[in-house]
Homo-oligomer: A and B are copies of this chain.
Amino acid sequence: MASSTVEDYLKTLYAVHQSSGEATNVPIGRLASAMGVVPGTATSMMKALADAGLVEYASRAGVRLSPRGEQLALHVLRRHRIVELFLVEVLGLDWSVVHEEADLLEHAISDRVLEKLDLLLGSPRFDPHGDPIPTPDGTFEEPEWVSLATCPTGVRQQVMRILNQQIDFLQFVERQGLRPGAIVKVRSRDADADTSTILVHGRKAASLSLAVASQILVAAAPSPSA
């Protein structure tokens, strides 16, 4: 059994790998800062994980998950996201705090409990932030959503996913009414000024920098209900 620490490293490695351009190895430094440890700690941990067959690691060449490591990371991710959804849907916890609660719980959920949760929630495909939930065998739905920084302007869009999951950011998103499910329209976008103006539910207008807008993924909205 992998310890919580090992699970955290694998999960973090997976996330960093995803967020950086695919197919490349993750530099130790980036992994270390994502884990909140000094580089030396990450180095020795990666050696241990390489010995355990969970990562592929060569000195000064960065790390990547081995197939087994990736499978384990996806399993942790599945637990994390199902727990998040459970906390919101069943316990009614605040959308913005479930991420850190799930970080704790994800290491204490047995397969038995996990599949009961999955059943209770109706085998959901996405968590409350719009992140896809891996299936038990580790396959994954990655819809082709675009961000508010790149989607067509003037067209009704539906918010599908929030990439940045820090509490402050999620609370900001909440206040702006930009939760997944919200119907929005990009009214204008100005690359030089680095801003965009978003109409939320046709009424309120929010002004976002393009960096912020790129954290919010949308899809073409279903036709209006009126």
Contact = CB atoms under 8 A, between A and B. Distances in A.
Contact of A87 (B104, B105, B107, B113): B113
A108 B92 CA distance: 18
B108 A93 contact: no
Q: Taking the full assembly, how many copies of this chain does it contain? A: 2
Contact of A92 (B90, B92, B105, B116): B116
Contact of A113 (B91, B112, B117, B120): B91
B116 A93 contact: yes
B110 A104 contact: yes
A184 to B, nearest CB: 30
A97 interface: yes
A110 B101 contact: yes
20 contacts: A87-B116, A90-B90, A90-B120, A91-B113, A91-B120, A92-B116, A93-B112, A93-B113, A93-B116, A97-B112, A101-B110, A101-B113, A104-B108, A104-B110, A105-B105, A105-B108, A105-B109, A105-B113, A107-B108, A108-B108
